[in-house]
Amino acid sequence: MNPSILVVIEHKNGEILPAAWEAVACANEISFSQPAEIKLVILGNDVESLAQKTAWTTGIDIIAIETFEQQTYNSEVYKSSLAEVLKERPFSYLCVPGSTQGNDFAPGLSMRLGTSCIAGVEKVIPGENGIGFLRSINGGKINTEIQSETASTIILVQPGSYKPQQIIGTTRGNIDRVTVDFSDHRIKNLSIQKTPGDNSVITDAPIIISAGRGIGDEENLELIKRFSMIFPKSAIGGSRPLCDLGWLENSQQIGITGATVDPELYIACGISGATQHTMGMKGAGFIVSINSDPFAAIFNISDLCIVEDLNEFLAEFIDVCEDASKTG
């Protein structure tokens, strides 16, 4: 039997987050190519009840790491605790949700353990020469398959790439309890604050007109607004760069660092289609993309593709609608 495949379970308020079950799904996919036992690692303050509940419902063995003092996520505590515990527990792969938490501690942890760390993994590719881990590069235009050359490997699982796989077991999993005492003094957690803004306007809208850098200038937002008026019940969203520029409100941002939406219709206007954006909208019912770049990555996940200069096409479409209503 190969060394275990471990999954770091991200949890909040005593609940396991969907991203953790996505990482479990990735671990399962690895185990098809390289059979090994999967174990879940639960780390935090007062984790006993969560560990017990999870071991009972899933039937999977748990490594429960009790951190006592540390109430909320702290990268130093995570790295120190996991490095100490994992040094004595051989693993082939450690799957970590590629959340803002996983991305924060996993690369550093790999340095402490001397393993490789592959970020943004979307798929496991079995191969004769070992397992390849698929990740997206160059704004989603190309995928690369990375192979690890170290005995143990940390995999950061790209959020949204896997369906969360909640496992229901018939037997009870065992719990390996470890207590660590790393109170860190280099990073002090002060508070967690809510960023002002309400994104329910875009998360609730059945139609989203979404703008990306392809709109060119801020004044072209006017055209996006006129275009959106054609669609009753539509809302305007956009990619991160437009929010960073202040052209759109942060609450209008769609993607990994913004809202995840699944409207009936999504019209991507001048959006290139990098993973950071598509992970927040690929579940939409019908996707229409307009982009002047015929190779834009957004087209791969679209139902309808229109290769045109965005602003000229929107103006043309508005014109066609006006003509249609006249003759209508």
Partner 1 sequence: MKILVCVKQVLDLEEETDFHIDDSGQSMVFDGPPVYQLNRFDDCAIEEALLIKKAHTETLIDVITVGPERADAVLRRAMGMGVDNGIHIMTSGEEIPNSFQIATWIGEYSKEQKYDLIFTGVMSEDEMQGQVGPMLAEVLGMPCATSVIKETMMEGNDKIRVEREIEGGYRDVLELLMPAVLTIQTGINQPRYPSLSNVLRAKKTEVNVIPSTTIAIPDKRQTIAKLNYPQKTRSAIRLEGSRRGKAEALLRIFKEKSIL
Interacting positions 59-98 with partner 1 (CB under 8 A): 72-73, 75-76, 79
Q: Is 14 in the site for partner 1 (CB under 8 A)?
A: no
229 bridge partner residues: none
Closest CA to 291 of 173, 184, 72, 139: 139
CA dist 124 and 208 (Å) reads 32
Q: Which of residues 273-292 bind partner 1 (CB under 8 A)?
A: 274-276, 282, 286-288, 292
Q: Which helix (H) or strand (E) holds 316?
A: helix 310-327
Residues 6 or more apart whose CB falls under 8 angstroms from that of 194 comprise none
Q: Which of residues 22-51 bind partner 1 (CB under 8 A)?
A: none
CA dist 28 and 34 (Å) reads 10
| 66 alpha-carbon distance from chain centroid | 27
Q: Is 176 in the site for partner 1 (CB under 8 A)?
A: no
- Least distance from C-beta 312 to partner 1, angstroms? 7
Q: Is 188 in the site for partner 1 (CB under 8 A)?
A: yes
Q: Which of residues 299-318 bind partner 1 (CB under 8 A)?
A: 299-308, 312-313, 316-317
b/e map 297-311, b = 16+ CB within 10 Å: bbbebbeebbeeebb
Q: Which of residues 252-271 bind partner 1 (CB under 8 A)?
A: 257, 264-265
- Candidate ranges 28-36, 48-56, 163-171, 194-202; the one touching partner 1 (CB under 8 A): 194-202
Q: Which of 45, 100, 166, 183 binds partner 1 (CB under 8 A)?
A: 100
Instruction: Identify the sign of the CA torsion 43, 49, 53, 55.
Output: positive
Q: Which of 45, 53, 126, 143 binds partner 1 (CB under 8 A)?
A: 143
Total binding residues for partner 1 by CB under 8 A?
A: 101
| 185 alpha-carbon distance from chain centroid | 30
Instruction: Pick the closer one to partner 1 by CB: 2 or 260.
Output: 260
Q: Which of 40, 50, 161, 240 binds partner 1 (CB under 8 A)?
A: 240
- Candidate ranges 41-49, 86-94, 162-170, 239-247; the one touching partner 1 (CB under 8 A): 239-247
CA dist 288 and 308 (Å) reads 13
Q: Is 160 in the site for partner 1 (CB under 8 A)?
A: no
Q: Which of 4, 67, 110, 252 binds partner 1 (CB under 8 A)?
A: 110
Instruction: Pick the closer one to partner 1 by CB: 173 or 255.
Output: 255
**141 and 195 Cβ atoms separated by less than 8 Å:** no
- Least distance from C-beta 57 to partner 1, angstroms? 24
CA dist 7 and 195 (Å) reads 30
What φ, ψ does residue 38 adopt, rounded to 5°? -100, 135
Q: Is 221 in the site for partner 1 (CB under 8 A)?
A: no
Q: Is 129 in the site for partner 1 (CB under 8 A)?
A: yes
Q: Is 229 in the site for partner 1 (CB under 8 A)?
A: no
The CA-atom distances, in angstroms, between 218 and each of 143, 243, 296 are: 32, 11, 21
